[in-house]
Amino acid sequence: MFYTFQGSIAADKCQDKAGDKAAERPPKGVHACTECKRRKIRCDASEKTPPESAQVAMPSPCPSAQDPQRHLEQMPTQDSEWDEERRERDPLPVEADDVNALSLTMDRQASYLGASSIKAALMVMLQIQPQLRAALTSPSKSRADRVGDVAVLRSCSRAQKSDSAPIPWTWKGQTYVDAYFKRVHVFTPMLDEVAFRADYLGGQRRDTPWLSLLNMVLAMGSIMATTSSDFSHIEFYNQAVSHLHISAFGSSHLETVQALILLGGFYLHYVNRPNMANAITGATLRMATALGLHREPMVQNGSDQVVAAAAAAAETRRRTWWSLFCVDAWAATTLGRPSFGRWCPAINLQPPKLNTSQEEEHDAAQHAGIMPLLENIKFCKIATQIQDKLATAYLLPPDDRKQLDGMLSEWYQQLPGLLVTTDPCAEPLNLSRCVIKWRYWNLRMLLHRPIFLTLASKGQGKLPVAEEDIAAVELCQELSKKTIESIANEWMRDQMSGWNAVWYLYQAAMVPLMSLMWQPGSPAVGIWKEQILSCLEVFQAMRDWSLTARRSQDVVRGIYEATCQKQGEGSGQIDGASTTLEDGQVSDFTASRGGEQSGHSSLNLGQGVSAEMLGPEWLWDPQVLYWDEQAQPMAEFDASGFNDGMTELGYL
């Protein structure tokens, strides 16, 4: 037991004093006990119960002794180190969640993450080049700016009590609703757009499920309709959570489930609550299961009107369940945590139906997101398998990697032409197909990246490398190159595009950074540097359209500068142009070092490395991945500093 018992002398004195005072009071007469009164018999109190006078004479404990826990000191748990509720108490920087490592903390204030997380890559970099700890400190900001920014964002956690009044229609609200159906609905088409717009235009509904859903739609719509410097979404969030208290998980209303999907699947990631978001989506999955959304509804018989209404309700249930399934899978891709049964044989719900009838009464936009959703469902089923595999064994056998990679490649090759072509199209469809492509490349990269990280952490010449492992490294480098080029050319100036583009670009940038540190003498050094500089330029252009663009640029730039300076010190000078990059400026440092250094020559072919990688001494031990006190602390981080970039997950 981790308790310490402290002395209680003061308590004993207090008890003695109370006892003496009670003894001075005159004793009361003996009264019958409760049982004798009920039976109406003579009570012999001396045998059955102590006289009440004796009870009065007993010393009463003093206030300091009423709570026995006052003298116990409980051992703090690790949970108290990383919980996101600290944001409401401490002036934490806005990007300081542990999931994506933009806060650059390597201390115990971190939740469990696996080998598919960004932090795994940064830990390998720090092992290769410990000098990065000093280079990756947070840029300073004025005290007034820090306090003001933190105060604005912390207010989003303090919901005000709603009066449950109807929300009237406004032009601004209409703009937000339009933005939602243009840029969010295409990913999770779970709402009946016609019915939703009619209810909002009427402005009469005041029931809790509707108010929570409407406010979440307005919150997401305000994000989609504005730049990253706008915080009008906070007011809608506060109104929504005033209706989404803990009892909401016992609700049987489909609109409550949809509101929770928007809250846990989108909004909480946007405001940097990834662990809370993950918990809410998990609880919402259980809630949806309790409502039977995971089971295919029975066909209804009756009049045409009854059958049509039942079919529409069944379709809404399908879209809601599969939207929840997808947002949970997208968010968990880079966590390295098990899926806990997100997909299993007990789920027999059919995918949503793609209605191609020319007599469809609803607006054509109602079905705009069904085709992407159908393909995302297939993708997320494969992603769930990969997630569970990587959560169990960080290094997969070559045959397993080949099989899973083949499943992903086959899925992408079988996509409908509208989702793979680069021909001009409507904005929602273009946004969807860009994100599908980036997500596909990112998951393939995560599948093979543990091999890359292990080889880099071991160093060259220290162990033989199998040909399939070399192929895995080369595939990571090729996929990152494609991702960087695609994002640089195809991202759009809106927050949904910028939000996703920055995240996948940040993931891809880790590969050339790692390559540059691992093989500084490679002929491909110049290509890697060009890729990194391209990332920095795109991050700069995205600052108005992503909360994380600035901080992502700072992290990548810090690693790049430190690596170039380290290599320059090895030869006595820094080759090429200056590697110092001013804020908002990218240098033309593209010169590579000539020749090969000892210990960094081409890969040594030989027997497979998998056996040694899977040994107990491998870097990514579960205890190391937890980043507890065993991990070395990073350079001191200014907890009161603020960087106007929040972390988010690659979940869209």
Among 479-488, 514-523, 609-618, the minimum mean pLDDT is found in: 609-618
The closest of 322, 383, 385 to 187, measured between CA atoms, is 322
How many Å from the N-terminal Cα to the C-terminal Cα in the chain? Answer: 45
Assess if residue 380 is contained within a domain. Answer: no
User: What digits encode the pLDDT tens for the residues 373-416?
Assistant: 999 999 999 999 999 999 888 889 999 999 999 999 999 999 99
Assess if residue 550 is contained within a domain. Answer: yes
Q: Is 556 helix (H, G, I), strand (E, B) or coil?
A: helix
Assess if residue 153 is contained within a domain. Answer: no
Residue 486 φ then ψ, to 5°: -65, -45
Is it the case that residue 262 has pLDDT exceeding 70? yes
Give the pLDDT mean for 555-560: 94
Higher-scoring residue by pLDDT: 354, 617: 354
Residue 124 and residue 178 in one domain: no
Is it the case that residue 596 has pLDDT exceeding 80? no
Q: By the 8 A CB rule, do 628 and 402 touch?
A: no
- The total of structural domains in the chain comes to 3
The closest of 297, 295, 313 to 305, measured between CA atoms, is 313
Measured CA to CA in angstroms, residue 108 lies from 77, 105, 111, 136, 250 at distances of: 10, 8, 8, 18, 35
Residue 267 and residue 407 in one domain: no
Assess if residue 142 is contained within a domain. Answer: no
Residue 295 and residue 436 in one domain: no
Which pLDDT score is estimated for 24?
52
The whole domain housing 49 covers 9-71
Assess if residue 13 is contained within a domain. Answer: yes
Is it the case that residue 86 has pLDDT exceeding 60? no
Residue 24 and residue 167 in one domain: no
Which pLDDT score is estimated for 73?
37
**Domain-ending residue, one of 332, 355, 371:** 332
Residue 324 and residue 410 in one domain: no
Residue 316 and residue 424 in one domain: no
Tell me the CB-side half-sphere exposure of residue 96, using CA atoms within 13 A: 29
Assess if residue 229 is contained within a domain. Answer: yes
How big, in percent rounded to 5, are the helix, strand and coil portions of the chain? 55, 0, 40
**Domain-ending residue, one of 309, 332, 355:** 332
What is the number of residues in the chain?
Answer: 652
Give the pLDDT mean for 258-286: 94
Structure token pair of residue 173: 């609200």
Structure token pair of residue 462: 């220290």
Which pLDDT score is estimated for 28?
54
Residue 63 and residue 179 in one domain: no
Neighbour count for residue 596 (Cβ, 10 Å): 14
The closest of 398, 390, 386 to 120, measured between CA atoms, is 390
| pTM of model > 0.75 | no
Give the pLDDT mean for 461-488: 89
User: What digits encode the pLDDT tens for the residues 111-167?
Assistant: 556 667 777 777 787 778 787 777 766 554 544 444 445 445 555 445 444 457 899
Structure token pair of residue 611: 């056996």
Q: By the 8 A CB rule, do 107 and 634 touch?
A: yes
Give the pLDDT mean for 514-532: 93
Assess if residue 544 is contained within a domain. Answer: yes
Residue 638 φ then ψ, to 5°: -75, 100
Structure token pair of residue 487: 């994002």
Q: Is 175 helix (H, G, I), strand (E, B) or coil?
A: helix
Q: By the 8 A CB rule, do 425 and 568 touch?
A: no
Q: Whole-angstrom Cα distance, residue 154 to residue 88? A: 6
* DSSP summary character for residue 354: -
Give the pLDDT mean for 428-453: 94
Residues 6+ apart with CB under 8 A from 90: 639
Is it the case that residue 297 has pLDDT exceeding 70? yes
Confidence band of 301 (pLDDT split at 50, 70, 90): confident
Is it the case that residue 640 has pLDDT exceeding 80? no
Residue 219 and residue 318 in one domain: yes
Q: Is 465 helix (H, G, I), strand (E, B) or coil?
A: strand
Which pLDDT score is estimated for 443?
96
Confidence band of 67 (pLDDT split at 50, 70, 90): very low
Residue 402 and residue 326 in one domain: no
Region label for 33, one of left (φ > 0), alpha (ψ between -120 and 50) or beta (otherwise): beta
Residue 125 and residue 263 in one domain: no
Q: What percent of the chain has pLDDT over 90?
A: 45
Structure token pair of residue 94: 């806005």
Measured CA to CA in angstroms, residue 540 lies from 477, 497, 557, 642 at distances of: 23, 15, 11, 18
Residue 478 and residue 543 in one domain: yes
Q: Which residues pair with 5 in a beta bridge?
A: 72
Q: Whole-angstrom Cα distance, residue 595 to residue 358? A: 66
Helix intervals (H) in 519-542:
525-541
Tell me the CB-side half-sphere exposure of residue 57, using CA atoms within 13 A: 11
Residues 6+ apart with CB under 8 A from 110: 81, 82, 98, 119, 626, 627
Q: Whole-angstrom Cα distance, residue 121 to residue 403? A: 24
**Domain-ending residue, one of 281, 308, 332:** 332
Residue 125 and residue 208 in one domain: no
The closest of 313, 249, 255 to 287, measured between CA atoms, is 249
Assess if residue 359 is contained within a domain. Answer: no
Q: What percent of the chain has pLDDT over 70?
A: 63
What is the chain's mean pLDDT, rounded? Answer: 74
